Amino acid sequence: MRIWGWVTDMLKIDNLVFSYGKIQALNGVSFTVKEGEILSIVGANGAGKSTLMKCIAGLLKAQGGEITYDGQELPKSANAVVARGVALVPEGRWIFPNLTVEENLLMGGYLVKDSREGLERAYRMFPRLKERRNQRAGTMSGGEQQMLAIARGLMSNPKVLLLDEPSLGLAPLIVNEVIEYIDEINRQGVTILLVEQNARKALKIAHHACVMEQGRIVRYGTGDEIAEDESVVAAYLGKKA
Amino acid sequence: MFIQQLANGLSVGSVYALMAVGYALIYSLLNFTNFAHSITVTIGAFTTFFFLTYAMENLFLGIFAGILTAALLAAFIEFIAYRPLLKRNARRVYLMIIGLGISVMGDNLVIIAFTGRFRIFPVNFPSESIQIFGSNVGLVDILIFVVSMLALLVVELIIRKTKLGLAIRSASYSLEATSLMGVDTFQLILWIFLIAGSLAGVAGTLLGAKYTAYPSLGTFYTNKAFICAVFGGLGSLPGAVVGALVLGVSEAMISAYVSTSLRDLFAYFLLIAILLVRPSGLMGKSSEDKA
């Protein structure tokens, strides 16, 4: 929401709590994502990053706390969250391997009345998907599948895109490509919440960033601030090359 | 004799296919076997019988009434019995137990309501037969086969050509991922039960027409259809159809050339054999390609 030129909060996470039985995954997580920015969340394996994404997307029901989007509480079911304009590209991509590339994209635009425009945009952005539009998605390479997953996430015309580990399992060159695409999507006006283990790259394109540890946000700052924070460098970035 | 038995087998097999596809559809989305399927078949047969007896002797309207009632009953069962468990993310085995309970309860309720009598449809089905390659093939068998195949074709078209079908194919891979696309998965599941119930209604009507309507009709024939679905590969729609036709024809051949008393035993023999040799069935693949 933008009022008289002021950038306001798009997505507000307030004291979110979630546990898998006795294992506490989110321990009172709070942060806000501003309109039009990329907010990166970095953290080790098991810090609760994916759980957080699933709670926002409506796949998991938080046991406590609140998620507000554009000033209103975000619905609790996954399909309603998409309908509100928040789409998740999950970790591991979750493409439909049995469907063709185009059918995957059409599924992404399930709620959109006319998907033609979305398809065109997706093919313009990812020409390789157009070449393979009639190919079964499961037969594509990891990088192509990741591009499909991102393109599919954009088909519903979301205002906020949640990206969970988009570089997972990809070759370094492809990772750079994916990161560039994310930057480009953001420049087109989509607010992005990015969870990434590849912290250096995630911080480079981030306007703001959080560090997550054991189900809590332990640091918040601009991308550069976090990238230069000594403890973050020690834990997640290692020595700069 | 051979052609005659083949026609008979294909006719029975095509009805098995209607029910087996119902099992496969639900299994492909929810990974459990809907044992309550049987009661929808029985109710389909009874609805058509009562419609023809008390409303009007219009076979097409009678069949339509049977399909509609069976579909609504299937959706009702989903809504009151399965949905609460699905919402709580209960283990699938509990859904199967509930389905078994509904099946047994349904059979008994039908006996209480309508007695255990066998009821003959008050319509004169064509008893003539036509000559194919020198053999007499009953017109009823041809009619049943054609109606069943048409019903299956409609379902196939829905799955391959419509937006609903696309969502069903996605959901057969992952319900969770499908919900992330904005699909209301509970609504989708309801649709699946409506489709499976409609097919069960067609099957019930055809079985009632061929053999009479009686309370355990659904249970007896859905047991066979379940075996067809397992034989073809649980969750695979083409597998269910192939399994059904194989079982239908095998049964017809066994009762003609071996012994009628061995006919029903064969289905269970087939079930055990396939589970021992190839547990995933003829066309059962991994979870990738079920619908």
**Whole-structure pTM value:** 0.91
Chain A neighbors of B181, CB-CB under 8 A: 79, 82, 107-108, 110-111, 152, 156
Is residue A68's pLDDT more than 80? yes
Query: Nearest CA of chain A to the CA of B88: how many Å?
Result: 12
d(CA A35, CA A11): 8
What is the per-residue pLDDT for A69?
A: 95
Chain B residue with CA closest to A82: the answer is B182
Domain assignment of residue B62, yes or no: yes
Average pLDDT in chain A: 91
Could you tell me if A94 lies within 8 Å of chain B, comparing CB atoms?
A: yes
CB contact under 8 A, B170 and A99: yes
pLDDT (0 to 100) of residue A3: 55
**Is B282 among the domain residues?**
no
pLDDT reading at B203 higher than 70:
yes
Show which of residues 168-227 on chain B sit within 8 Å of chain A, judged by CB atoms: 169-170, 172-174, 176-185
Cα separation, B247 vs B174, whole angstroms: 30
Q: In chain B, how many domains are there? A: 1
Contact A94 B180 (CB under 8 A): yes
Instruction: Give Cα B141 to chain centroid, integer Å.
Output: 17
How many other β-carbons are positioned within 10 Å of the β-carbon of residue B174? 16
Per-residue pLDDT for B169 more than 80? Answer: yes
- pLDDT(A1) > 80: no
Residue A231: C-alpha distances to residues A20, A207, B133 (Å): 29, 20, 86
Inside any domain, residue B259: no
Identify residue B114 by its one-letter amino acid code.
Answer: F
Our CA-based measurement puts residue B97 at a distance from the nearest CA of chain A, in whole angstroms, of 25
User: Is A128 within 8 Å of A146 (Cβ atoms)?
Assistant: no
Residue of B nearest to A102 (CA): B166
3-state secondary structure of B183: coil
CA nearest to A53, candidates A64, A67, A63: A67
* Cα–Cα dist B189/B86, whole Å: 10
For residue A79, give the nearest of B174, B182, B290 by CB distance.
B182
CB spacing of A98 vs B181 below 8 angstroms: no
For the stretch B150-165, pLDDT in tens is 999 999 999 999 999 9
For position B289, what pLDDT does the model report? 47
Query: Residue B288's pLDDT is what?
Result: 44
* Tokens encoding A101: 């590339």
Average pLDDT over residues B15-20: 97
Weakest mean pLDDT among B37-41, B94-98, B190-194, B260-264: B260-264
More confident residue, A121 or B288: A121
Tell me if A78 and B180 make a contact (CB, 8 A cut-off): yes
| Within-domain flag for B73 | yes
Q: In the A/B pair of chains, how many CB contacts fall below 8 A?
A: 69
Asked if residue B236 belongs to a domain, the reply is no
Higher pLDDT, A121 or A231: A121
Minimum CA–CA partner of A80 in chain B:
B182
Q: Are A112 and A155 in contact (CB under 8 A)?
A: yes
Q: Name the burial class of residue B143, with classes exposed (0-12), middle (13-18) and buried (19+) by CB atoms within 10 angstroms of its CB.
A: middle
Give the pLDDT of residue A236: 74
Q: Which of A56, A98, A154 to mutate to test the interface with B (most CBs of B within 10 A)?
A: A98
Interface-testing mutation among A20, A77, A96, A154, with chain B (most B C-beta atoms within 10 A)? A96
Residue A152 confidence class, pLDDT cut points 50, 70, 90: very high
Between residues A41 and A2, the one the model is more confident about: A41
Domains and CATH numbers, chain A: 7-85+158-241 (3.40.50.300), 89-157 (no CATH)
B98 domain residue, yes or no: yes
Is pLDDT larger for residue B209 or for residue A3? B209
pLDDT digits (tens, 9 = 90+) for B216-243: 999 999 999 999 999 999 889 999 999 9
Which residue segment(s) compose the domain that B147 sits in?
2-120+128-221
pLDDT-derived band at A8 (thresholds 50, 70, 90) equals confident
Phi-psi group of A86: left, alpha or beta (phi > 0 → left; psi -120 to 50 → alpha; rest → beta): beta
Look at residue B285 and tell me if it is in a domain: no
pLDDT confidence of B285, banded at 50, 70, 90? low
B271 within domain boundaries: no
Please answer yes or no on whether A110 and B181 come within 8 Å at the CB atom.
yes
Q: What are the beta bridge partners of residue A89?
A: A163
pLDDT for res A80: 96
What is d(CA A200, CA A208) in angstroms, rounded to the nearest whole number? 13
pLDDT interval class at A112 (50, 70, 90) = very high
